[in-house]
Amino acid sequence: MLKVRNLTNVLQQKLQLGFRCLAICCFCSCVVFGGESFSEEKRVVTIGVLDSSLSATDKSAIAQTLEALENLPGYRLDVQYYNPSELEEQLIQKKLDYFIGTSGFYRRFQSFGLRSVATLFTETAPNPRYATGSVFVVRNDSPIKTISELKGKSALASWSKGFSSYFAPMGEISKQGFDPESFFAAYKTYGPPMTNLLQKLENHEGDVVLIRACLLEDLEKTQPDIFKRFRVLEEKKDNRLRCKHSTDLYPNWTLVATPSAPWTETREITKCLLNIPDSTGFGWATVPDFNTIDELYKSLKAGPYAYLRIQTVQSFIYHYRFPLLFALFCILMLCVHSWRTNVLVKRRTQSLRLAYEKEAELRRKIRESELRIDQLQKTEIIGAMSSLIAHEINGPLATIDNYCRGIKRKLEVEGIDGSWLNRPLSLIAKQTSKISDIVSRVRAYAKRDEPEFTKIEADKLLKTCVSDIRMRYPNCRIVLSETEPSVVLGHVLEFEVLLENIIKNAIQAAQAAETNRIEIRQICENNSMFIRIFNASSVCSSEELEKHLQPLHSTKNQGLGIGLLICRTIAEKMRGNLSITYKDGEVFTEVKIPLFVSQEKENADQNC
C-alpha cells in the first residue's frame, strides 16, 4: 500500500508539472501569435463587382483575381456584387474604394473621378483592348438575315442600360445609318440569366436577343445544339476575339479605382494584378486609352456626351416640355404664395417692427447708462488710488534720495574712488526727483492748483525723451528726423509725460505688428510746433482704432486706459491738441502746440 501511495503521489506531481508547462505554452502562443493578429490591424478594402452577364472564362478569372487580392498583407477585402443601377448608386454615395465592371460602365461615369487600374485579358480574348462585344441572336428559322432587317422588330435584353445589351448593339445600328432610339418597335429587358431570354425568343416573345459575346459558346458546353436552334446575325470575322460577335470590339473588364482609394493601396493592388502568372490562363494589363468606348458614346450621344442631344432651344423645350410645364406651374404657384405671404407679413410685422425699434432704443440707452456708470466707477477708483499713492509714496522716495546721498558721502569720507557710481546715482536721483514732481502735480490737481507755465525748449526735451526711451527699448529702432528750435509754454513735467506716453504707445503698437520701428518728425509751421509719429499697427481699420481710443479702454493686461486721456488733457491745457488717425496699415499720431511768441515780436507783427 505504501508503494502504491508513493507511486500515486509521483504521478500527481508529474501531471501537475505537465499541466503547468502546457498552460505556459498556451499563454506564450497567445501572446506571440494572438498579439500579432491584434497588433496588425488590416485595412478593409471595399470592392464592388458588376453582377452582369459574365462568360465562364471571365467569371473564373475574376474569382481567381479576388483570391489573389485576398492574400495581400495588411488588407482585408469586402466584396459585394451589384447590378448596374445598384453599382451606380454606390458610386454616387462614395461607398466603394474599387469596382470591377465593364469598361463601358467605367467610361460612362468617368466624371465621378474614376481611374482605371488594369484591364483583364484571357485566352479567349488575348488583347485587352479588343475583348468585349455583342451578338444579335435570332431563331434559326427566322427570315431575318441582316441587322437592317430588324428595324421595327422587338428586341430582348438583360439590362436597359447595359453596355453589351444596349450601347454596343446600338452603336452597330447607328454605324449602319439608323436611329438607335426608333430602330426597334419594342425593347424589353428581363435581367439575367441569358437562358430565359433565349427561351422567350423561342417562344416568339421577341425577334432578336442582344447579349454579350462568348455567352453562346459557354451555353454550347451544356447545350450542344445551341447553334442549331439559334444563329448570329452579321458575324464579324477577325482573330481578336475567339467568339462570335456582331459588333465592334471594346476593352475588357476593368478594375477601377474611385477617388477614395489611397495611392499606396492602389500601387499594391496594381503590382498584385500585373504579377499574376500567365499560366493561370488570364492576366491583367494596363490599357493606354478607351477611345473606342468614348467614340461609341459620342456617336450615340449618351453617357458623358448626353448633352449633344440638345442642339437648339426648340429641341430643348420639346425634349423637356413636361418638366418645363411643371416647373412653370410651380413657379406661378410660388409667386402667388409669395405675394400672399408678403401681404400677411407686412400686416403682421408692422406693429412688431415699431415695438422692436422702441425696445432697441431702450437697450441702447441702458447700455450707454451702464457704460457711463462703469466709467465713473473706474474714475473714482483711479482717483482714490492716485490720492493714496500721492500721499504714501513721498516717504519711500525720500528714503531712496537719502540713501543715494549717503552713498556719495560715505565714498567721499572713506576716500574711495566712486566716479563709476556717479552716473547711476545721478540717474536714480533724477528719476526720484521726477517721481516726486509727478506726485506734487497729482496733489496739486487734487487741490485744484493750476501750475505756472514756463518756457520749454521743446526740441531739446524731445531729444532727451527719445534718448531715455531708447535705453528702455533697445530692440526698437526709433528714427528721429532733424528737429527745429522751438519754444512752447507749459509745464515741463507734464510735457515730458505727454511725449513719453505717445512714444511708448507707438513702440508697443509697432511691436504688436512685429515691425519694431517708429519714425518721429518735429517741424514748426504757422506759429505752431508739430510732433508727428508714424508706426505700423495690428489695427486693421479706422473703426477698430476708434474703439481702442475710447476712455478707460486698454488692450494691455495691466492697463487702465487713462494714458491717452491724460495726454489729450495736457495738450489741450497747452492750447494744443492730440490726434490719432489710421491709414494704409499705419497709425499717425500728431501733437500740435502753439509756439511761444514774445510780446515785442507780437507787437511788431501787428504793426506790420
**When comparing pLDDT for 513 and 96, which is higher?**
96
- What's the confidence (pLDDT) of residue 33? 43
- What's the confidence (pLDDT) of residue 400? 80
Q: How far is CA 423 from CA 332, 399, 412, 429, 549, in A?
A: 91, 19, 15, 10, 39
Q: Residue 89 has which C-alpha cell?
A: 448608386
Rounded mean pLDDT of 484-498?
86
- What's the confidence (pLDDT) of residue 543? 75
pLDDT exceeds 50 at position 37: no
pLDDT exceeds 80 at position 584: no
Rounded mean pLDDT of 188-209?
86
- What's the confidence (pLDDT) of residue 433? 74
Count of C-beta atoms within a 10 Å radius of residue 532: 15
Segment holding 78, helix H or strand E: strand 75-82
pLDDT exceeds 60 at position 23: no
Length of the chain: 608
Euclidean distance between CA atoms 197 and 206, whole angstroms:
9
Rounded mean pLDDT of 49-66?
80
Tens-digit pLDDT profile for residues 219-249: 888 888 888 888 889 888 888 888 888 898 9
- What's the confidence (pLDDT) of residue 1? 41
**When comparing pLDDT for 236 and 410, which is higher?**
236
Euclidean distance between CA atoms 56 and 68, whole angstroms:
18
- What's the confidence (pLDDT) of residue 601? 57
Rounded mean pLDDT of 510-531?
86
Residue 496: closest CA among 560, 549, 570 = 570
**When comparing pLDDT for 585 and 28, which is higher?**
585
Percent of the chain with pLDDT over 70: 81
Euclidean distance between CA atoms 103 and 541, whole angstroms:
59
Percent of the chain with pLDDT over 90: 5
CB burial of 386-420 (b: ≥16 within 10 Å; e: otherwise) equals: beeebeeeeeeeeebeeebeeebeebeeeeeeeee
pLDDT exceeds 70 at position 557: no
Identity of the highest mean pLDDT range in 111-115, 422-426, 433-437, 539-543 = 111-115
- What's the confidence (pLDDT) of residue 391? 59
Q: From the centroid of its chain, how far is CA 121?
A: 42
Q: How confident is the model at residue 137 (pLDDT cuts 50, 70, 90)?
A: very high
Rounded mean pLDDT of 444-469?
77
Q: How far is CA 219 from CA 194, 222, 253, 300, in A?
A: 9, 6, 20, 31
Euclidean distance between CA atoms 595 and 455, whole angstroms:
10
pLDDT exceeds 60 at position 553: no
Segment holding 522, helix H or strand E: strand 517-525
pLDDT exceeds 90 at position 585: no
pLDDT exceeds 60 at position 449: no
Domains of the chain in sequence order = 40-132+250-309 (3.40.190.180), 133-247 (3.40.190.10), 346-449 (1.10.287), 451-604 (3.30.565.10)
pLDDT exceeds 60 at position 394: yes
Query: Which of 348-362, 440-454, 513-527 has the least mean pLDDT?
Result: 440-454
- What's the confidence (pLDDT) of residue 501? 87
pLDDT exceeds 50 at position 38: no
pLDDT exceeds 80 at position 455: yes
- What's the confidence (pLDDT) of residue 2? 41
Query: Which of 100-109, 172-181, 376-385 has the least mean pLDDT?
Result: 376-385
Segment holding 355, helix H or strand E: helix 321-392
pTM for the model: 0.47
Rounded mean pLDDT of 166-193?
87
Q: How far is CA 445 from CA 387, 441, 451, 489, in A?
A: 10, 6, 9, 19
Tens-digit pLDDT profile for residues 69-112: 888 888 888 888 888 888 888 888 888 889 998 888 888 888 88
Query: How much is the mean pLDDT over the chain?
Result: 80
**When comparing pLDDT for 30 and 162, which is higher?**
162
**Are 503 and 533 within 8 A, CB to CB?**
yes
Tens-digit pLDDT profile for residues 146-158: 988 899 999 998 8
- What's the confidence (pLDDT) of residue 317? 79
Sign of CA dihedral 240, 245, 249, 252: negative
Q: From the centroid of its chain, how far is CA 489?
A: 61
**Are 265 and 45 within 8 A, CB to CB?**
yes
Identity of the highest mean pLDDT range in 191-205, 361-375, 590-604 = 191-205
Tens-digit pLDDT profile for residues 283-342: 888 888 888 888 888 888 887 777 777 767 776 777 678 888 899 999 999 999 999 998
Report which residue type is found at 215: L
Euclidean distance between CA atoms 22 and 26, whole angstroms:
6
Euclidean distance between CA atoms 381 and 335, whole angstroms:
63
- Strands (DSSP E) contained in 128-220 are 134-139, 154-157, 186-189, 208-212
